[in-house]
Amino acid sequence: MTESQRYRRLGKYELHTLIGEGAMGIVWKAYDTVLRRYVALKLLGSHFRKTKEMQERFLREARAAGAIQHPNIVTVYDLGDVDGQLYIAMELVEGRDLSDIITLREPMALERKLDLIIELLDGLHFAHQRGVIHRDVKPSNVRVVPDGRVKIMDFGIARLQSADASGSGAIVGTPTYMAPEQITNGAITPATDVFAVGCMLYELLSFHKPFEGESVHGVLYQVLTTEPKPLRTLAPSIPAALERVVGKAMNKVPDERYETAAQMQSTLLGIRAALSGAGDETTQRLGIRWTPLPGPVLKLVTQAPMKWRIAVLSALALVVALLLFSPTPPAADEVAPPRVTERPTVPGPVASQIPPVSPALSARRDSALAARDRAVQAGALKNNTTSMVLAETMFQVSEQALLAGNQTQALNGYVAVLEQYRKATAEAQTLQRDATQMIQRVTPTVQAIPAGPSVANAATFLARADSLLRAQDYTMAKVAAQSAEQVAIDAGIAPPSSQPTDTRGAIEVLLTDLGRALASERVGNVRVIYPKMTDAERRGWETFFHDWEQITARFTIERFNAQGGAASADVRALFEYIPAGGGAPRQDRRRFGMRFEKASVGWRVSAVAELK
């Protein structure tokens, strides 16, 4: 038997050693018998050849990936179809995956970690410029080769940014590193890869994944709705500027991330230079650095006569003295200049155009400007409140009167506008409070939605509402939260009813909602009313719903006590139901001891115990 006959063959390739396997297929270390070199040969799974359209789409996208030649991207040598088996032949790269380094928590200097991510971003930007987005950037797809360079692997599922074939619309990627738009089948852009890089950098710096859950569904929900723990609570030694970079890259709204991988890379390069003390344009030297004399000069000095040496050393001493005692320019920010929050443009004359005025008028104008600033900061201008619109008009009229020299009219206008700006501030605060309460009310409802398409849609609306709230767009934040609530309602999860101000009346409404939740036979609806439900209680409710059907529940308060934000009651319950196996309607009477807590969104059940 010849050497080549020992191995299974696929076309011109000899399959030598199985390297790994995953969702896409298996990877072999193979030998190209024509070009006489080893390659990594990926054999694609059968799902890639279900239809001719899928095969053509795969080949088109793989060719696009193969056209990318970059030092930080694994090169695609060949692709094709042999006897119905799709394959990709790639550069065989020795080294270790970044996932192994993270798993073992190997000690690594911060500068070195940044170098890895900077190289990764360099490769991704190169691909993005050619219309190819990776879509599955994660530590196991990043290999660190023995010479320290980074190689990005597995562009096989990359999708042409301009491709006209959308495929099945299935979610592609790894949950922990997937951007929200991948989960919701939104537009895939370079910002999608930037999000994944942000997640990777978070994990590399802290050795903790930014999003974790007990199931894939749990992780996806985390990605859509929650923010990861602040990075510096897990890695306190990193610079605050680096934490901001990671936070921006992981923003749930694509438009609020870095626009390109190159933009994020540039910011990291600035931080990297500051850490290493590099003397480039982005940094300022922290102090005097001694630079060794060039060899020929040193030889000239050491071999010169003594009086010449004294003269040279005296001159050097004079230079040093001048350097030490000369005034130094103020140090620049080592990473990036701080953002200056500019005062919103005020309609009216600039300071140089204002004629001399009395101290009283000047003080009134300053008060009006301060009130305007408070209204703007509260979000009145962004939300276009009624009082803000009126106040801006009044202020402009006062400014025009001031410019015309009519100080009496200007003074009266500044006095009147002060109250309008105060109203505008109050209106904005009311909008903020309403939006916040709506989001708080909807959040447990969305969390109660069972696994399925609805939870992703509702979570997207809720994440959008939270983002809009932070951006002070309170009206649209409330609309987005209401959209999330409607998705929950369509999925069978009912939001709680509005509660009256008196405590007993609120508890009675809450118990009515609990009866509705039991009638729905959904644990999710019960959890909305009883958010502190334990796992054991959840299993009990599931058994309850399994054994009983067509449930009607009525609750009557017997003993009631309330103090501040806490209340307790003995509650008599009457259940009417039909056994799961069929039969006549039955009744069941029980008594419960219940405790209640007042949350920002109203009263909720906090504990339940059956009384004998």
Question: Would residue 105 be called left, alpha or beta, if left means φ above 0 and alpha means ψ between -120 and 50 degrees?
Answer: left
- Cα torsion 201, 202, 206, 212: sign: negative
| Active-site residue (options: 32, 115, 122, 136) | 136
Quote the tokens at residue 486: 């409607």
Q: Report how far residue 567's alpha carbon sits from residue 2's, in angstroms, rounded to the nearest whole number.
A: 85
Confirm if 124 and 197 have CB atoms less than 8 A apart.
Answer: yes
Q: Known catalytic residue: 136?
A: yes
Q: Report how far residue 155's alpha carbon sits from residue 40's, in angstroms, rounded to the nearest whole number.
A: 13
In 3D space, the residue among 376, 325, 310 whose CA is nearest the CA of residue 347 turns out to be 376
Quote the tokens at residue 267: 């910011």
Locus of tokens 């190169």? 126
In 3D space, the residue among 108, 104, 101, 98 whose CA is nearest the CA of residue 238 turns out to be 108
Q: Are strands 85-91 and 76-82 parallel, antiparallel or unpaired?
A: antiparallel
Confirm if 199 and 211 have CB atoms less than 8 A apart.
Answer: yes
Quote the tokens at residue 365: 């104008």
Q: Report how far residue 213's alpha carbon sits from residue 221's, in angstroms, rounded to the nearest whole number.
A: 9
Confirm if 203 and 228 have CB atoms less than 8 A apart.
Answer: no
Confirm if 176 and 214 have CB atoms less than 8 A apart.
Answer: no
Q: Which residues pair with 44 in a beta bridge?
A: 25
Question: What amino acid positions are annotated as catalytic residues?
Answer: 136
